[in-house]
Every structure is written in structure tokens, then in C-alpha cells.
């Protein structure tokens, strides 16, 4: 075979090989592109996963932080409760000043004079006193003669003076009496009238 034929054969073989390798090169390039796309998808998915993992870890850290804080506050409160339960009760005394009226009962004495008796009876005012008492000796109302007589004896005793009870059998009436020296004076408690006789009789005590 001469050189021309050998050269032509070489060129033919080269061209044939080139034409045969072109589809293979195209397939290889396409396969590489697919691999690159898959790799990029993988990287994107990996990035999303890593971001989600980081967010989860952050949320876990925050949850853990708040849980630790709640536990710390709970422990403090429990310690306070335990301390209060073990603490003995404290009794505090508050001084309250309350006015107390202590009754004073003086030593009882007789009236020294008619003037003293008259002045005291004139100023005496029982709780049921009315203007009608000035003119009606036997006034019928919420109080009757015995009520006034009892009130007069009571108030006189609180003033330190002795006044007694007198029963009038003629009129069926109760009034009061006071001893001054050896004389006995009669007091009508409903009118404050003082007399030295009862039904025309003067009493003398020894």
C-alpha cells in the first residue's frame, strides 16, 4: 500500500472515530449536567435540612432556658413555703384604748337641809319626765307612781343621798320620803312637790 492510501486510510479512520465519539461525548456531557443538577438539588436540600436543624436546636435551647427558669422560680417558692410552714406562729398584740366608764357609788348620806333637798329634787329629771307631771299628780301613762318613785330612789342613791319609799294607804299611791334631822318630808316624784305632812299628818323620827 502506498503512502497516499495509508494517509487516506488514517484520515478515514480518524474521521470515523471522530464521528463515532461525538454521540458518546454528547451523552457524557448530558450525564454530567444531570449529575450537576442532582448535586445542586442535594446541596439545596442539605441547606434546608441544616437550617431546619438549626432552628429546632434554637427552639430547644429556648425551651430549655425557660424550663430552667421555671424550675428555679418553683424551687424558690417551694423553699419559701417550707420556711413558712416550719416558722412558728407570731402573735402580735395591738393595743386598743377603749374608754371604760367605771361607776362610782359614793357613801350615802341624808340631806342636810330642806333647801338642799328642794334644790336636788327641782333639778332631778327622770327619763320619762313631761310637762304634764307639773299639773297632774296621778297622770296615767307609760310610767305610773311606782316607776317614778323607783327612779327617784335610784338617782338619789347615785348622787350619794338617801331617799326612801312611802306608801299612801288612803289613796293607794306610792311616793318618796326623805329624813332631815328628826323631820320626815314627803316627795311627790311625779310633780316634785315636797310636803312635811301626808294626809294632814306630820311625821317625826327619833
65 and 128 belong to one structural domain: no
Per residue in 150-175, pLDDT (tens digit) is 999 999 999 999 999 999 999 999 99
pLDDT at residue number 32: 75
86 and 119 belong to one structural domain: no
Which residues, including other chains, have CB under 8 Å from residue 107's CB and lie 6 or more apart? Answer: 160
Q: What percent of the chain has pLDDT over 90?
A: 31
Q: Is 6 exposed, middle or buried (0-12, 13-18, 19+ CB in 10 A)?
A: exposed
Average of per-residue pLDDT across 91-115: 85
119 and 85 belong to one structural domain: no
Measured between alpha carbons, how far is 47 from 41 in angstroms, rounded to an integer? 10
86 and 146 belong to one structural domain: no
pLDDT at residue number 24: 61
Per residue in 1-36, pLDDT (tens digit) is 545 454 455 555 555 555 555 666 666 777 777 777
Domain assignment present for residue 59? The answer is: yes
Domain boundary among 45, 62, 92: 92
44 and 126 belong to one structural domain: no
83 and 121 belong to one structural domain: no
HSE value, Cβ hemisphere, 13 Å, CA-based, for 69: 6
Per residue in 42-81, pLDDT (tens digit) is 778 888 877 877 777 777 776 777 788 888 888 888 888 8
Kindly report the average pLDDT of the chain as a whole number.
79
Domain assignment present for residue 19? The answer is: yes
Number of structural domains in the chain:
2
Domain assignment present for residue 107? The answer is: no
Domain assignment present for residue 151? The answer is: yes
Measured between alpha carbons, how far is 186 from 194 in angstroms, rounded to an integer? 6
Domain span including residue 128 = 114-202
129 and 82 belong to one structural domain: no
What does pTM read for this prediction? Answer: 0.47
pLDDT at residue number 44: 81
Query: Of residues 136 and 101, which shows the higher confidence score?
Result: 101
134 and 82 belong to one structural domain: no
Measured between alpha carbons, how far is 67 from 96 in angstroms, rounded to an integer? 50
Domain assignment present for residue 141? The answer is: yes
Amino acid at each position: 500500500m502506498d503512502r497516499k492510501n495509508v494517509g487516506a486510510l488514517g484520515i478515514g479512520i480518524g474521521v470515523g472515530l471522530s464521528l463515532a465519539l461525538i454521540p458518546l461525548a454528547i451523552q457524557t456531557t448530558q450525564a454530567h449536567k444531570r449529575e450537576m443538577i442532582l448535586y445542586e438539588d442535594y446541596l439545596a436540600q442539605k441547606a434546608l435540612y441544616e437550617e431546619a436543624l438549626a432552628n429546632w436546636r434554637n427552639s430547644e435551647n429556648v425551651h430549655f432556658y425557660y424550663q430552667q427558669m421555671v424550675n428555679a422560680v418553683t424551687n424558690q417558692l417551694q423553699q419559701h413555703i417550707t420556711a413558712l410552714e416550719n416558722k412558728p406562729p407570731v402573735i402580735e398584740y395591738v393595743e386598743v384604748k377603749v374608754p371604760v366608764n367605771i361607776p362610782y357609788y359614793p357613801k350615802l348620806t341624808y340631806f342636810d337641809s330642806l333647801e338642799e333637798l328642794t334644790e336636788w329634787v327641782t333639778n332631778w329629771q327622770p327619763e320619762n319626765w313631761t310637762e304634764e307631771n307639773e299639773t297632774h299628780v296621778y297622770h296615767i301613762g307609760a310610767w305610773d307612781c311606782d316607776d317614778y318613785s323607783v327612779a327617784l330612789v335610784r338617782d338619789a342613791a347615785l348622787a350619794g343621798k338617801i331617799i326612801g319609799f312611802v306608801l299612801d294607804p288612803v289613796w293607794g299611791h306610792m311616793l318618796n320620803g326623805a329624813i332631815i334631822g328628826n323631820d320626815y318630808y314627803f316627795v311627790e316624784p311625779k310633780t316634785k312637790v315636797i310636803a312635811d305632812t301626808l294626809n294632814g299628818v306630820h311625821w317625826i323620827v327619833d
